[in-house]
Structure 1
Amino acid sequence: MKKIAFILLAAILFLAACGEESGQSPEANAKEGTKTFKIGVTQIVEHPSLNAAYDGFQKALEDAGLDVEYDVQNAQNDNSQNTTIANNLVSEGVDLIFANSTPSAQAVASVTKDIPIVFTSVTDAVSAELVQSMEQPGGNVTGTVDTQPDAIPSTINFLKDELGAKNVGMVFNAGEQNSRAQVDAVKEQMSAVGLNVVEASVSTSAEVKQATESLIGKVDSLYIITDNTVVSALESVISVANDNKLPMMVGEFDSVKRGGLGAYGFEYFDIGYEAGEMAVKILNGESTPADLPVQYPQNLRFVLNKDTVDALGLEVKDEWKAEFAE
């Protein structure tokens, strides 16, 4: 009996050792030093561009082989909820916060100086007071912006030279810093080339259609920037634009796919992925937000919606070097 007991004990010890070596148990994970990182995700509203950015962020961490648990919260364009989310994520003591939009980043940056914050879908990180400078963020915040330096000038040139625009309508949420910065930049650059901007301000997505309709008879084209409130209700703008044969330039490719005429832009998945690569460096202890420069989007492209081009009766010129949205 003693011999049988000894054999059974040896077999149990052998199987336990095999389990530890194969990493099949929590004890094995602890032994190998594997850590599960908890990342808080805050997003101001649901729309395709922001969703694509989050997908890109997740893919970067997956490709890096990190074990991650996400706490994803969406404010549904409610500023009070946005603040509540920020406080909740900080109180949870997450390892890092991914802030997807300017309001989301501002909310979390205002309540913690200790937890690393990586943002994307932010237009002007300096004016939003998220970082000290693009090159040297200087605090616990860094990320990727969704404005490419040549995008606005290229769009304005297309409106003027190719579409013959004179009065351009812009619908936006004036309470969103991201949008105000873009509109001011557009107005300044349009004024320099003799174009006029006609503004229509909204505070909620429910106001978008009426605001767009208020521009009819005053404008010959539309330019919809990367405004979260308006883009979340873009179909309302597209409906009015189509009914009145107004060419509508937009700020990103997802809005082209949804019916906008065209955009000089980039993929939001890509800037989300680049933000994810920054998060990997921070979580692995290779760098800190203060040391990681804020990144611009790469590879500006011009994309058109073929159906919208045809509906407007436009001829696509070779010199446009345009691609068609898929």
Structure 2
Amino acid sequence: MGVSKQMNKKILGTIGILALFTLFAGVYETVDKQQKKAIPTVAVLQFMKHPALDAINKGIYEGLASEGFHKGKNIKILFENAQGDQSNLKTMASKFDNAQADVSVGIATPAAVSLANTITDRPVVFAASTTPIQSKLVKSYQHPGGNVTGVSDQAPLKSQLKMMQTFLPHLKNLGVIYTSSDDSASIQAKQMMTLAKKAGIQVKPYTISSSNDLNQTSKQMVANHQVDAVFVPTDNTIAGAMPTLIDSTNAANVPVFPTVDTMVKDGGLAAESINQEELGIKTGKQVAQILKGKKPKDMPVGFIKKGDLVINRAQLDKLGIKMPNKYNQQAKFVK
């Protein structure tokens, strides 16, 4: 009987230990699952591959890291590139919605609009929307009012026009080319046309529906010395096909003034440019603030207040345009 009692005690003790082990294992498993679930997910939808948009994407991760969110460590990143295809945008936005991403980021207006139209119950942040109010992403700059906020890439157009006139004191005819289906580009182009007309400059607008139209339209624009210079707004389609535009304008000895530094690098003469990586960093910091508890409706739209004067020195030489003395100290040169 004594031996039997001892055996029973041993068995009961073993069972107790196993029960405790099972209990603690379950607790640890629950804690582990909660920790994994607590890692936030940020979904990034980029409209197309282009150096300017790639720089914004890079900046977003830098901005998140500066606020303590490091990709692959304490934050999960989902990324999709629509390659300029509208149907891809809708599919990818739905994918992010199904994934229940904590914050979704749209790089360029088409991507942001697609996300905002699809995701209505979680935060959406736009990066590089030129006209977020007109695009119905926000109600106002100071009080967005919904689940969307972000950072605008509005270019300083008045400064841009003055800069163009400094390079070309006798500027009389300005060609303005943009993609008709790009709302942001269209609005910015029309704003520049209004400013130019007020300055006594004759404006000649040209539109394309896709990059396939750019070769023929650009050649038509510069034929027979119709324009003294060309302005290109923040237009993703043209940005992705700048060599085509520059081939036409260089053949006619006509300078191109875009609004983005990467477009200057690709053959534009000069721009009062928004720093795209800085814009991305500012966007990443907004995303981080949302992850920390802020609501998009209470977060004013961000702006890059001062553009950088970026000049393509090779284009100056190629087109025989003299560098204004006032820009020698402040300009950043590419090529």
- Distance verdict in 2 for CA 1:47–1:26, change over 3 Å: farther
| Residue identity opposite 1:271 in structure 2 | L
- Distance verdict in 2 for CA 1:162–1:290, change over 3 Å: same
* Structure 2 alignment gaps of length 5 or more: 1-9, 11-16
1:158 aligns with 2:163: yes
1:201 aligns with 2:210: no
Deviation at 1:181, TM superposition (A): 0.8
Q: What per-residue deviation string (whole Å, max 9, x for no partner) do you get for residues 177-220 of structure 1?
A: 11111011011111101112222211212221221111022211
**Range moving further from structure 2, 34-43 or 291-300:** 34-43
Aligned to 1:92: 99
Alignment of 1:15-94 (within 5 A): 35-66=38-69, 67-94=74-101
| Residue identity opposite 1:40 in structure 2 | A
1:236 aligns with 2:244: yes
**CA contact under 8 A between 1:160 and 1:166: conserved in structure 2?**
no
Aligned to 1:145: 152
Deviation at 1:140, TM superposition (A): 0.5
**Range moving further from structure 2, 184-193 or 55-64:** 55-64
1:186 aligns with 2:195: no
Deviation at 1:158, TM superposition (A): 2.5
Corresponding residue to 1:261 among 255, 259, 269: 269
Corresponding residue to 2:216 among 187, 205, 210: 210
Distance in 1 separating the partners of 2:313 and 2:256: 13
Distance in 1 separating the partners of 2:275 and 2:306: 9
1:322 aligns with 2:327: no
Alignment of 1:244-259 (within 5 A): 244-259=252-267
Q: What per-residue deviation string (whole Å, max 9, x for no partner) do you get for residues 217-274 of structure 1?
A: 2211111111011111111111112111111111111111122100002210111110
Corresponding residue to 1:102 among 109, 118, 143: 109
**CA contact under 8 A between 1:75 and 1:82: conserved in structure 2?**
yes
**CA contact under 8 A between 2:274 and 2:306: conserved in structure 1?**
yes
Distance in 1 separating the partners of 2:185 and 2:233: 7
**Range moving further from structure 2, 209-218 or 52-61:** 209-218
- Deviation beyond 4 Å, 4+ runs, structure 1: 25-34
1:169 aligns with 2:178: no
**CA contact under 8 A between 2:66 and 2:285: conserved in structure 1?**
no
Deviation at 1:60, TM superposition (A): 1.3
Aligned to 2:123: 116
Deviation at 1:29, TM superposition (A): 6.2
Aligned to 2:13: none
Distance in 2 separating the partners of 1:240 and 1:28: 63
**CA contact under 8 A between 1:160 and 1:195: conserved in structure 2?**
no
3-state SS of the aligned residue for 1:214? Answer: helix
3-state SS of the aligned residue for 1:215? Answer: helix
Aligned to 1:293: 300
* Structure 1 alignment gaps of length 5 or more: 3-8, 17-24
Distance in 1 separating the partners of 2:77 and 2:213: 33
**Range moving further from structure 2, 173-182 or 203-212:** 203-212
Deviation at 1:112, TM superposition (A): 2.1
Distance in 2 separating the partners of 1:152 and 1:56: 24
Distance in 2 separating the partners of 1:26 and 1:104: 38
Distance in 1 separating the partners of 2:95 and 2:314: 44
**CA contact under 8 A between 1:171 and 1:201: conserved in structure 2?**
yes
Distance in 1 separating the partners of 2:96 and 2:315: 42
3-state SS of the aligned residue for 1:65? Answer: coil
RMSD over aligned CA atoms reads 2.4
| Residue identity opposite 1:160 in structure 2 | Q
3-state SS of the aligned residue for 1:324? Answer: strand
**Range moving further from structure 2, 303-312 or 164-173:** 164-173
TM-score, normalised on structure 2?
Answer: 0.85
Distance in 2 separating the partners of 1:207 and 1:51: 24
| Residue identity opposite 2:272 in structure 1 | Y
3-state SS of the aligned residue for 2:136? Answer: coil
3-state SS of the aligned residue for 1:185? Answer: helix
3-state SS of the aligned residue for 1:299? Answer: coil
Deviation at 1:64, TM superposition (A): 2.5
- Distance verdict in 2 for CA 1:123–1:74, change over 3 Å: same
**Range moving further from structure 2, 316-325 or 138-147:** 316-325
Distance in 1 separating the partners of 2:204 and 2:29: 61
Number of matched pairs? 306
Distance in 2 separating the partners of 1:141 and 1:281: 13
